[in-house]
Amino acid sequence: MVGVRLDAAAYRPVLQPMSIALELGQVVGVIGPNGAGKSTLLRLMAGLIAPTSGQVLVAELPIASQSPRWRAQHIAYLPQLIGDDIPFTVREFVEMGRYSRESAWAQGASRREAVMAAVAQMGLERLLDVPLAQISGGERQRAGIARCLAQASPVFLLDEPIANLDVFYQLDILSRLRGLAADGRLIVLAIHHLEFAMRFCDACIVLDHGAVVAFGPRDEVFQTELVQRVFHIGVRRFADPFTGDPRLSVMGCLPVKDGEEREES
Partner 1 sequence: MRRRRRLAFASLVLALCVAVALEIGIGPVYIPFWHIPADTIAYASGHRSLDAIVVGAIRWPRLLVALLVGAALAVAGCVLQAIFKNPMSDPGVIGVSSGGALGAVLTIAFGWSSRWLWVTPAGSFICGLAVVVLIYRLATFGRRTNLYALLLAGVAVGSLCSAIITAILDMSPLQTMEQMMFWLFGGLDGSNWRETCILTIVDGIVLPVFMALAWALDIMVTGEEHAEGVGVAVQRVKQIALGLCALIVGVSVSTTGVISFVGLIVPHVLRYLVGPRHRHLIPACALGGATLLALSDLVARTVVAPVELNVGIVTSCLGAPFFLFLLFQHGRNWQRR
Count other Cβ atoms within 10 Å, centred on residue 86: 14
What is the sign of the dihedral through the CA atoms of 104, 106, 111 and 115? Answer: positive
- Residue 107 is a binding residue for partner 1 (CB under 8 A): no
DSSP state of 264: P
Q: Which of residues 67-96 bind partner 1 (CB under 8 A)?
A: 67-69, 71-73, 76-79, 81-83, 85-88, 92-93, 96
Gap between the Cα atoms of 138 and 164, Å rounded: 9
Question: Which residue number, 92 or 202, has a Cβ lying nearer to partner 1?
Answer: 92
Stretch that binds partner 1, among 66-74, 166-174, 176-184, 219-227 (CB under 8 A): 66-74
- Residue 133 is a binding residue for partner 1 (CB under 8 A): yes
# of chain residues touching partner 1 (CB under 8 A): 31
- Residue 134 is a binding residue for partner 1 (CB under 8 A): yes
Q: Which of residues 150-209 bind partner 1 (CB under 8 A)?
A: 151
Question: Which residue number, 107 or 249, has a Cβ lying nearer to partner 1?
Answer: 107
What minimum distance in Å lies between the beta carbon of 26 and partner 1? 21
Residues in Cβ contact with 90 at an 8 Å cutoff, skipping those fewer than 6 apart: 119, 124, 127, 128, 129, 130, 132, 135, 143, 146
Q: Which of residues 19-48 bind partner 1 (CB under 8 A)?
A: 46, 48
Gap between the Cα atoms of 189 and 250, Å rounded: 23
Strands (E), the chain: 2-11, 15-23, 26-31, 53-58, 61-62, 75-78, 155-158, 186-190, 203-208, 211-217, 233-239, 246-253
What minimum distance in Å lies between the beta carbon of 146 and partner 1? 12
Question: Which residue number, 61 or 248, has a Cβ lying nearer to partner 1?
Answer: 61
> Which residues contribute to the site for partner 1 (CB under 8 A)?
46, 48, 67-69, 71-73, 76-79, 81-83, 85-88, 92-93, 96-97, 99-100, 104, 131, 133-134, 147, 151
